[in-house]
Amino acid sequence: MKNKIDRKNRLDGRTFAMFTLPLLLIVLLCAPLTQAIDAQTLNDPVLQIRYVAIGKELRCLVCQNQSIYDSNAELAQDLRRQVREMLEDGRADDEIYRYMIERYGDYVRYRPPWRVNTLLLQLFPVFIALFGFWMLWGTLRKHRSVNAMKAGSPELENSESAQDSGADDTANTSTERR
């Protein structure tokens, strides 16, 4: 029994050294790759911070669902260069966004503006949430009235389950048991 455990442990140690450890190393070494390999940085640290922030706000148009900061696509590199040049020119963030939107449309920004044609997009989550609350409220109210009826008058409950074939299972079993 003891031998068996030892052998098993030794095997696990070998698996760890030969397989798990290298795998772990590979995964950990890949961590920096989640950012775009961008050799270009700006000398001014404040500009660099703005550069990164703007890069994360702009959508790469060929590799959609990546920002130009995340992507290594050629277009993303070109757009990053454009942003860098504009920052070095002393342009404001707004100017840079406007420049990109004029050329690539609202789509290039991850935060779409409030316009007539984006109202649905902007308000839809609110509607969904309100609808959810409305359903929840309705369901809770129904449960509370069913519970109240159960506690109050058995006759009412009987007539209800006779009328509504889809009544709660709990209501049915409780009438049967009585």
Partner 1 sequence: MRFSVPLVLFLGLSVFLLLGLDQDPQKIPSPFIGKPVPAFSLETVESASGTVSTQDYAGKPYVINVWGSWCPACYDEHPYLLEYAAQGQLPIIGLNWKDTREKAQSWLAQLGDPYVANAFDPVGDAGINLGVYGAPESFLIGADGIVLYKHVGPLTPDVWQEQFLARVQL
Residue ranges binding partner 1 (CB under 8 A): 61-62, 64, 74-75, 78-79, 82, 101-107, 166
Three-state secondary structure call for residue 1: coil
Give me the least distance between CB of 107 and partner 1, in Å please.
5
The CA distance from 135 to 59, in Å, is: 36
Query: Closest separation between CB of residue 79 and partner 1, Å?
Result: 7
Tokens 């390999």 label which residue? 37
Q: Is 16 or 124 the residue whose CB approaches partner 1 more closely? A: 124
Is the Cβ–Cβ distance between 120 and 114 less than 8 Å?
Answer: no
| Nearer residue to partner 1 within complex by CB, 19 or 134 | 134
Q: In the complex, what is the shortest distance from the CB of residue 96 to partner 1, in angstroms, rounded to a whole number?
A: 13
C-alpha distance across the termini of the chain, in Å: 59
Is 112:62 a contact under the CB 8 Å cutoff? no
* Residues 149, 155, 160: CA angle, nearest 5 degrees: 65
Of residues 43 and 65, the one with the C-beta less far from partner 1:
65
Nearer to partner 1, 44 or 85 (CB): 85
CB of 105 vs partner 1, minimal distance in Å? 4
